[in-house]
Structure 1
């Protein structure tokens, strides 16, 4: 939830999900709607980079998922961002590898980010979307 400073951007954003082994992160259960919303948004490849960032928590090499609005697009994780905007206009930026962090390493992002992702993807639902340990 720090100010985004990874790359030049014309809009203010907050970072979410930029994880590293030397720093603790919240774990828990994340509602499937959040995961599905992230997958739906993943094919936009916001801020696509030329390099790849592999998961630093496991030996998985460049995870791939089925994403996009119809969940039928092969999306490679580790070289782009997912962006979501909440109702207050706050924009969040997360590495698309956040999907892997949630599903494989139990990362539990902030509730406001989860709500923004579900909203941005057009998947309405109840307010409770995460359950932290």
Structure 2
């Protein structure tokens, strides 16, 4: 997978909408680590079932031996969602659109990736989960 620094202009695929990158990680680039509120993970799992920008190929995690992570997602959290071939797109309260590979869930839960707070707020808001207080604590 191509690496894009967080909050840079999205250019992975053609889109008629301006978006910002989040969670496009690669082993040869450092990334922010920390604690991410479980509401963010839940929101991303809910949103993951929509398979935005689904690709034909599969990207495997470059940080570990996990073949292809799967999570339970969707509104009822009962849909098997295979990670590594789609994106999660969320819109912030200010209208900013963010695009993250759906592997971002794995990166957060298994590799302590800490996405930018504004992306976390957008994910929680897009999923309709109540927000109060900080959603990340970067180390």
Same fold (TM over 0.5): yes
Query: 1:52 offset after TM fit, Å?
Result: 0.4
- Residue by residue, what CA displacement relative to the aligned partner does 1:14-64 show, whole Å, maximum 9, x if unpaired? 000000000000100000000000000000000000000000000000100
1:85 aligns with 2:88: no
- 1:64 is aligned to 70
1:49 aligns with 2:55: yes
1:36 aligns with 2:42: yes
SS at match of 1:74: strand
Query: 1:127 offset after TM fit, Å?
Result: 3.5
Runs of 5+ consecutive residues of structure 2 not aligned to the other structure: 1-6
SS at match of 1:94: strand
SS at match of 2:52: coil
- Could you list the runs of 4 or more consecutive aligned residues of structure 1 that deviate by over 6 angstroms after TM superposition? none
* Worse overlay, 119-128 or 73-82: 119-128
1:99 aligns with 2:99: no
* Worse overlay, 39-48 or 119-128: 119-128
- 2:4 is aligned to none
Runs of 5+ consecutive residues of structure 1 not aligned to the other structure: none
> Is the CA contact 1:40–1:68 (under 8 Å) kept in the aligned structure 2?
yes
Aligned length: 133
Give the RMSD, CA atoms, in angstroms: 0.5
Q: Distance in 2 between matches of 1:76 and 1:29?
A: 24
